[in-house]
Structure 1
Amino acid sequence: MSAVLAGCGPTGGSDDVTLRLVAADYGDSAANSSKKYWDQVVEAYEKDHPGVTVDVTVYSWNDVDAKVKAMVDAGDAPDMAQIGAYADYAAADRLYKAGDVVSIPVEADFVPRLADAGKVRGVQYGMPFASSTRLLFYNWTLFAQAGITPPTTWDELAKDAKALKARGVKYPYALPLGPEEAQAESLQWLLSGGGGYTQTVSSYSLDSAENVATFDWLKDELVGKGLTGPVAPGKLNRAAAFAAFTAGDVGMLNGHPSLMKAAESKGVKFGMVPMPGLDGPSKSSLGVADWMTAFKQNGHGDQIGDFLDFVYSKKNVLAFSREYDLLPVTTSASQVMGAAPQDAGLRPFLEELPLSESYPVGRTSWAGVSAEIKKRIGGAVTANGSPADVLGALETTATTAESASGE
């Protein structure tokens, strides 16, 4: 606080500081743009810190990472950026460590699973800002008409999909392996099959026996039997799958919390259950986090830390999470949300968080590997596709990228 307040006074002074924050937009309209959220946070902060101005620029998720990269490449890094990846900047020594900016109580309050995902070689650089997990959504009306119950195993899921197809449901199970977010759907399935993207801290395991078996099953038991709908999984994007669900055309799909509000607004009755696994509900779930980063370039570490302590207060974390149907990234806010009646809809997702597995975002190679998964994984489930060949090629790509990154 002393560093922040040193330049404060009735008329300001030469020590006044302007902090620049680049943030992503989580809203789906002008009415709930993230700009409104940040305007409220900044107004409250600046009121008590007259020596500090916080300048926030909000970009869509389609643009924010590229905008920040362009600023950094031009030698004009913001003080803070709320983005999707941090490892490249950490590897280039452009970021403050989390412990060098936020206070000890704030650092200790991050949900442990998310804090761990924000680390590079055991040191936290990425501070989780928003998180979500995935559950299997099912159309309650279509299930009732087919006389079926929500699945707990893969075999039950396939059996339910067959019953839905027999009743003319367009997408018995929607499998979005298109380029928008194939890495998410893929990881959810791999985890439910006992695999994943990484087997150890230092290597990828894309072509593990468990992963190949999972995609063999998807190809043979779902896609090959016409249970995934009229659009080839490799061409089906998440947004289109969600839109089909809210139109009542999908029996089942993996979804995150924002799908609840979208489905309710269209009058779709739905239920949610943990992702089925081989012999029961999956033992781990996909967890996704977005990251707050603090750049060293302008030397505003003390002021950044004081502002972020305010941003990560229980009140502000809860307000953001409730506005955008996301999970809190702090333990204190999670405890409130877990008990509050108004948050009952998010509770099933919150319960998945301790069991969740994140992308290997602490690796500088991940961005390139993720791009290749988005581009190629849909080919594994085509009629002429070979899961072993596709996953093997991806493993080679990942291993090469890992070696090139020096990790």
Structure 2
Amino acid sequence: MAPALTGCGTGAGGSKKITLVAAEYGDGKPANSSKRYWDSVARTFEGDHKGVKVSVEVYSWTEVDKKVADMVAAGNAPDIAQIGAYADFAAAGKLYSADQLLSVPTQADFIDSIAAAGEVHRMQYGLPFVSSTRLLFYNKTLFEKAGVLRAPQSWDELQAAASKLKDAGVKMPFGLPLGPEEAPAESLLWMLGAGGGYTDKNDDYVINSHENVQAFTWLRDELVGKKLTGSDPARTNRQDVFDAFCKGQVGMLNGHPSLMQQAEAGGIKYGMAPLPGISGKAKSTMGVADWLMAFKQNGHRKEIGQFLDFVYGTQTVLDFTTQYGLLPVTQSASDQMQKDGQNKKLLPFLEPLQNAVFYPANKTSWAKVSKTIKEKIGQAVQPGGDPMGVLSEIQTQAQSVESPH
């Protein structure tokens, strides 16, 4: 997607210009572009703050992270970036901390679980922008055909339901995308279901923990080994599974809010339920957040702070999340969404957010670890695969990039 650029000018009378580089959440149509949202926010803000101009650039997700990294490397950092990761910039001392920018009420309004995911050494540098959680989606028509009476609450029930779906001729009883697009997310969901995760309470990697090995051994033996995934998980991407679900070919899968719109467009009757865990409902789900961060380079701390306080206003947050089917990161917007009739469909995703577990995005090593997971984790669930061996290999690599050189 070609970048959409706008220069708002420096204005008369010595007004200050701050620059924002943001990611595109739209589907390529101008009416749905994030550019429209940010331009509207910038214009409203400028009306209230006569001495500040806001220049906005929006890029597709495939290029925005690299664009910002290149700008920073060239000594031309934007004042604000809205991208996927902040830890490298924070570790390099390039970012303002939240308490240097935001008013106390704005800081206090962040949902705790998400704010904590923005911390490096207990100092918040990543300002959450939007979030989402995951639920189990299932095809009601296929469940009825297979004689499955309700959504599974445990892994045993999930396996039993998948077996019935297979017997009823369903092409993909459970969609398991452990291919490169979504492997770190899908893996974390299963780890959490077994009581595991990527890191422990001390924020150390524990990728080859007993719980995680148990999760992948179960997947290998009970789903993949019994041919209940309909495809090789290591070669299956999330969008492939979403597309197949929307054609009525998938019985169950783990999904995020945008799958609702896609399924409805495909005429699929679907249900949603909490994620099953090893012996009952999983205690937590995965949360995903995208981040805002503010660079020190141009010294515009006061103006950036004013703009971000405005961005985190309740209605400004809801305008964005409502448009794209995402979850708000502030308590005030969450409360408003719960009162608001038009966002009822998102409420099942909102509730688990308080206890959601996020990627260890505060670690500068996470980008490399995530890449390794994408390349290797699918091997753990292959027939004859070695979950302990694969997870231990990823753990060893994680520790090597984590330790200072």
Shorter-chain TM-score bucket reads over 0.9
Compute the TM-score of the two structures, normalised by the length of structure 1.
0.95
Give the root-mean-square deviation of aligned CA atoms.
1.2
Q: Which residue of 2 aligns with 1:197?
A: 198
Q: Which residue of 2 aligns with 1:28?
A: 27
Q: Which runs of 5+ in 1 are unaligned?
A: 1-10
Report the alpha carbon displacement of residue 14 of structure 1 after superposing the two structures with TM: 5.0
In structure 2, C-alpha distance between the alignment counterparts of 1:170 and 1:52, rounded to whole Å: 57
Compute the TM-score of the two structures, normalised by the length of structure 2.
0.96
Q: Which residue of 2 aligns with 1:40?
A: 40
Q: Which residue of 2 aligns with 1:212?
A: 213
Q: Which residue of 2 aligns with 1:302?
A: 302
Q: Which residue of 1 aligns with 2:84?
A: 84
Q: Which residue of 1 aligns with 2:157?
A: 156
Q: Which residue of 2 aligns with 1:266?
A: 266
Contact 2:18 2:55 in 1 (8 A): yes
Deviations 1:362-404 (A, max 9, x none): 1111111011101110111112321000000000001111103
Give the aligned length: 394
Deviations 1:308-334 (A, max 9, x none): 111110010011110010000100000
In structure 2, C-alpha distance between the alignment counterparts of 1:392 and 1:162, rounded to whole Å: 31
Distance change (3 Å), C-alpha of 1:121 and 1:248: same
**SS of aligned partner of 1:46:** helix
**SS of aligned partner of 1:196:** coil
Q: Which residue of 1 aligns with 2:365?
A: 365
**SS of aligned partner of 1:159:** helix
2:182 aligned partner, one-letter code: E
Deviations 1:99-143 (A, max 9, x none): 101111111101111000000010000000010000000001111
**SS of aligned partner of 1:203:** coil
1:190 aligned partner, one-letter code: M
Deviations 1:5-53 (A, max 9, x none): xxxxxx9545311111010111123131111111211121122223221
Report the alpha carbon displacement of residue 339 of structure 1 after superposing the two structures with TM: 2.2
In structure 2, C-alpha distance between the alignment counterparts of 1:202 and 1:334, rounded to whole Å: 28
In structure 1, C-alpha distance between the alignment counterparts of 2:46 and 2:266, rounded to whole Å: 40
Q: Give matches, 1:4-403, under 5 Å.
A: 13=12, 15-30=14-29, 31-148=31-148, 149-229=150-230, 231-403=231-403
Report the alpha carbon displacement of residue 63 of structure 1 after superposing the two structures with TM: 1.0
Contact 2:11 2:53 in 1 (8 A): no
Contact 1:132 1:349 in 2 (8 A): yes
Q: Which residue of 1 aligns with 2:6?
A: none
Contact 2:221 2:383 in 1 (8 A): no
Q: Which residue of 2 aligns with 1:4?
A: none
Identical columns (%)? 56
**SS of aligned partner of 2:114:** helix
In structure 2, C-alpha distance between the alignment counterparts of 1:201 and 1:34, rounded to whole Å: 37
Contact 1:12 1:50 in 2 (8 A): no
Report the alpha carbon displacement of residue 179 of structure 1 after superposing the two structures with TM: 0.4
Q: Which runs of 5+ in 2 are unaligned?
A: 1-9
In structure 2, C-alpha distance between the alignment counterparts of 1:220 and 1:393, rounded to whole Å: 20
In structure 1, C-alpha distance between the alignment counterparts of 2:127 and 2:249, rounded to whole Å: 38
